[in-house]
Structure 1
Amino acid sequence: MKLSQLQLLDLIRGSHQGPNERRLLKHLLEEYNTMERPVLNESEPVLVSFGLTLQQIIDVV
């Protein structure tokens, strides 16, 4: 699952980007409604899962 728009908003607040990235994110999120949820039944919770992959081991002691 890709980052949700809400997660993108959190990244925007805590990240440093150039004007082009800022403009792109602003354009992508201009019609975003924080009250909407991507579910069929809004009374059920949204389950989110993510994974983490080790890319490189630098040193092992």
Structure 2
Amino acid sequence: MTSRLNPEDQRRVDEYLSAPQHRVERRPFRPWLLLLLVVAVTVGLGLLSRLLSGLVL
């Protein structure tokens, strides 16, 4: 895909994106860890709600 920017603006964009503060190393995304976290939070909140309902009723 060709850029719609003129060459001067494209050069500025390239300089901005190549600056050190925009090159952050990130760990790879792990969907199974996210799924495990969501399930653990859901189960934890469910157990907490059962405990609280037992104390109230």
Give the TM-score normalised by structure 1. Answer: 0.29
More helix by share: 2
CA radius of gyration, larger in:
2
The one of the two structures with greater contact order (alpha-carbon pairs below 8 A, sep at least 6) is 1
